[in-house]
A and B are shown apart, each in its own frame.
Chain A
Amino acid sequence: MSVEAPRILPGRVVRSPRGRVALRVERRPFVVGCLLVVLVVLLAIVGIATGDYPLSPREVVETLLGGGDPSSAFIVETLRLPRVVCALLVGGALGLAGAIFQSITRNPLGSPEIVGFTWGSAAGAVLVITVIGSSTGAAVSGGAVLGGVLSAVLVVGLAWRHGIQGYRLVLVGIGIGLVTRAFTEYLLTRARVEDAAQAAVWIAGSLNGRGWEQVRPLALALVVLVPLALTLGRTLRALELGDDAARALGARVDSGRLALIGVAVALTAVATAAAGPIAFVALAAPQVARRITRGSGPGLLPSLLMGALLLEASDCAAQRVWPAQQLPVGIVTGAIGGIYLAWLLASEWRGRRSG
């Protein structure tokens, strides 16, 4: 990372009439954000339009606006729209959670799936699938949320020592993640092969067959969590300056960090409950967003949009590249993650050589 010349804070300040709420808007992140929204919408239309029964983009838009013939309405509203909406919401939630975690741990690799929370969710869900034998969406989702929150409480509790330090959180999380993973794999060996195969697809992270019943609770949760995360963004920005500076700026360091972790864990848990532990979206989205916007702070909103874009693109690829296999989207994001790691490696090395 290069050190930029000091300058006066960029961007314009938007104020509410009495000046109670003031928001600084930087130009480049704003433009990038608008572009990302346009891209997400375009990609969503492509995602709805293509498939075994291709529709023209025009038909898709007409149907979405309430027109169109009944058959295309069925295809769009019952089959494809929930899946696309699910991908966007899950991707957005993961991108946001990743941005918060990377900022708190101050490390580009410190995302919820690396820090072990997603394995907690996986353990909960696999326990429901294999031991209780229930494969209904609600029970599995409940298991995932419960497992994720429990493991997060465990990690934060064990990492707590005069407040939370990023590195301790990461390392304790990795330790707990290994245990929950071993537990999950043990459950897989105990289960019947049908249950184990089903659980394995779930662990990979899949959007196959997602309907409105998954989208509704997810959307409700996000309506609460996303604004909460964005308002906490200010604290996050202060925390990036270091604990002492943040305290001097009036931020509550420990409680603020705890609240942020809580929101990020909740985001991860609801996203995992809906689609399984999808790898690398939370890892890659904030980094890509940060490089494109060239923003200075955590960049929560661009990360959210980038996460939605990444996951929807991955899901399109998963469905179209091997239509016969119904490959889980987590496999595609895993491959993207590999490329991302290589890129991170290359760019860090370049950065080192140039100074």
Chain B
Amino acid sequence: MGLAIALAALALAVFLSLALGARSIPLADVIGDLFHPDGSQDATIVHELRLPRTLLGLGVGAALGLAGALMQALTRNPLADPGLLGVNAGAAAAVVIAVGLFGIGGLTGYVWFAFAGAGAAAVVVYLLAAAGRGGATPVRLALAGTAVTAALLAVTQAVTLLDREAFETWRFWWVGSLAGRDSETLAQVAPFLIAGALLALALARPLNALALGDDAGRALGAHVGRTRVLGGIAITLLCGAATAAAGPIAFIGLAIPHVARAIVGPDQRWVLAYSLVLAPLLLLVADVLGRLVVSPQELQVGVVTAFVGAPLFIALVRRRRIAQL
């Protein structure tokens, strides 16, 4: 029932995303333009600009939401988020290096770098946080993620400051934006997003067992090590592809699983399903907001999600139960 409402809201967000912007088109016309393109200017805008952008928003949002839910389940940590923990920054730094140093153009070329960067950053952050006594507490994980992000940022800066052209593209891409992506971008990352999403959904059951702790999970028949590795692969695929397409976007992966848990409780199967629907909803709404707030210019979606997500993050931190987990 709840899921049906969420899906309806998502459909509405899709239509709004198709309709609103620097040149707003009435909703009734959007549907007509979508299914019977008549070659008018509005139809071209819907088909060439807003449809790819909206579909990409759906894909990227779903990927970030799923990745956040997976990370929070795997690390049993309420503050895990691909943006906060440096995974997106790893992908971003690898992409900048690929473009700036190796001259690799085209998304099919650098998406592999994005995977490598995302995977490496995730492993390093987790090791940094889990090292020493006490294990990976929320604070340690967040600190390790931020520190690794800072180091990666220095690498990115070094590349971009030496190369004015890389800087020009970097400063628009690094913020996290859906603007100006064509349908080709979507087609190139879609296979990776779908593979990652399927893998994530397949892990729901063992994740439920792992939620009870490693030992209890093992007793319930879950393969702890295999689940971790597969989960890591799914996160890498989802974050790497999403970042390669839209740039690093923070807070979606943090906020959505919490909302999902508040609605359906701790069952990972439902949490993942809700994250899959709610995350693109949030991303599309943020994107539409960004188009309207400073119209006719645009606020990049990464900026909007930061301003929307940060208050939620701080509210989470101020709740004693979570911060002491």
Contact = CB atoms under 8 A, between A and B. Distances in A.
Given A176-B310, A331-B157, A352-B133, A197 B143 contact: no
Contacts of A246: none
B300 A341 contact: no
A174 B142 contact: yes
Interface stretch (B15-23, B165-173, B193-201, B221-229): B165-173
Nearest to A160: B318
Given A172-B314, A182-B303, A325-B162, A352 B132 contact: yes
Given A158-B314, A182-B306, A331-B154, A189 B128 contact: no
A171 B172 contact: no
Given A158-B314, A171-B138, A334 B154 contact: yes
Contacts of B306: 178-179, 181-183
Nearest to A191: B171
A346 B128 CA distance: 9
A117 B195 CA distance: 39
Contacts of A110: 143
B124 A345 contact: yes
A107 B154 contact: no
Interface in B97-134: 124, 127-128, 131-133
B317 interface: yes
A212 to B, nearest CB: 26
A168 B323 contact: yes
B250 interface: yes
A330 B128 contact: no
Given A182-B303, A186-B303, A171 B142 contact: yes
Nearest to A111: B147
A279 B150 contact: yes
B272 to A, nearest CB: 25
Interface string A322-337: 0001011011011101
B145 to A, nearest CB: 8
A338 B151 contact: yes
B171 A200 contact: yes
Contact of A185 (B128, B167, B174, B251): B174
Nearest to B297: A190
B45 interface: no
Given A167-B139, A331-B161, A183 B318 contact: no
B251 A178 contact: yes
A196 B154 contact: no
Contacts of B318: 158-159, 161, 168, 172
Contacts of B251: 178
B57 interface: no
B314 to A, nearest CB: 5
Interface in B232-276: 250-251
Interface size class of A (residues with CB under 8 A): 35 or more
Given A168-B318, A344-B128, A352-B133, A331 B158 contact: yes
Contacts of A348: 128, 131-132
B84 A174 contact: yes
A222 interface: no
Nearest to A277: B150
Contacts of B157: 200, 203-204, 328, 330-331, 334
A201 interface: yes
B230 interface: no
Interface in A181-211: 181-183, 185-186, 188-190, 193, 196-197, 200-201, 203-204
Contacts of A159: 317-318
Interface centre among A177, A178, A333 (most CB of B within 10 A): A178
A345 B158 contact: no
A334 B79 CA distance: 25
Interface string B264-305: 000000000000000000000000000000000101101100
> 8 tightest CB-CB pairs across the interface, nearest first?
A334-B154, A182-B306, A348-B131, A109-B143, A171-B317, A167-B139, A338-B151, A348-B132
12 contacts: A114-B146, A171-B79, A171-B138, A171-B317, A172-B317, A179-B307, A182-B175, A182-B250, A186-B300, A200-B161, A333-B154, A335-B154
Interface of A: 107, 109-110, 113-114, 158-159, 161, 167-168, 170-172, 174-179, 181-183, 185-186, 188-190, 193, 196-197, 200-201, 203-204, 279-280, 283, 325, 327-328, 330-331, 333-335, 337-338, 341, 344-345, 348-349, 351-352
Given A330-B154, A349-B127, 15 more contacts: A107-B140, A109-B147, A170-B142, A172-B317, A174-B142, A174-B143, A178-B84, A178-B250, A189-B300, A204-B161, A280-B150, A334-B150, A334-B151, A334-B153, A348-B131
Interface of B: 79, 83-84, 124, 127-128, 131-133, 138-140, 142-144, 146-148, 150-151, 153-155, 157-158, 160-162, 164, 167-168, 171-172, 174-175, 250-251, 297, 299-300, 302-303, 306-307, 310, 313-314, 317-318, 323
